[in-house]
Amino acid sequence: MTIGELAQLAGVNPRTLRYYERIGLLTPSSRTEAGYRVYSPGDADRLAFIRRAQSVGLSLAEIADVIALRDTGTVPCRHVRALAEAKVSEIDVRVADLQQLRADLVRLREAAREAETDCVQASSICIAFEESTQPPS
C-alpha cells in the first residue's frame, strides 16, 4: 500500500509516516522504481502499535525502545511493564498536584467571596490572595 493509503487507514497525515521513517520507527517494506514508499500489512500493524502506545502516554523514544527490543528478538513485556509502572507513578504525582491546586483554588474562591466588599486595600491588589494562599517557595 502507498503512504497515502496507510495514512488514511491509520488516520494520520502522510508527514507523520515520513517523520516516523526519519526517526526509525517505521520503515517501508520497499520502494517502487520511482522511489515511492510501499508498505506491507506488517507495517500497518507496526503503525497501529505505535498509535496504541502513544495513546497510553508512551513517548516516541520509549516506543522506539520497545520496538528495538522486539526487533532483536527480545520479548519486551518486562520493559513495557516498567514503563507502565513509571507512567502510573508520574500520573499519581500529577493527580496529587492537581488535587492540591484545586484545594487552593477553592480556598481562594471562598476568600474572594468573603472579601468582596473590601477586596482592595492600599497595600494589596486583592486581599483574597493573601488570605487564602501562601507565597510560592
Q: What is the pLDDT of residues 1-51, one digit of tens each?
A: 999 999 999 999 999 999 999 999 999 999 999 999 999 999 999 999 999
Position 113 confidence tier, pLDDT thresholds 50, 70, 90: confident
Give CATH for domain 3-75.
1.10.1660.10
For residues 16 and 7, give the distance between their C-alpha atoms in angstroms, rounded to a whole number.
Answer: 8
Say if residues 50 and 84 touch (Cβ distance below 8 Å): no
pTM passes above 0.85: no
**Alpha-carbon span 22 to 50, nearest angstrom:** 15
Q: If DSSP codes are grouped into helix, strand and coil, which group holds residue 53?
A: helix
Distance CA 137, CA 115 (A): 25
Write out the three cell numbers for 68.
528495538
Enumerate the domain spans of the chain. Answer: 3-75, 84-132
Query: Is residue 7 a contact partner of residue 14, using CB atoms and an 8 Å limit?
Result: yes
Which 3 state secondary structure label does DSSP give 31?
Answer: strand
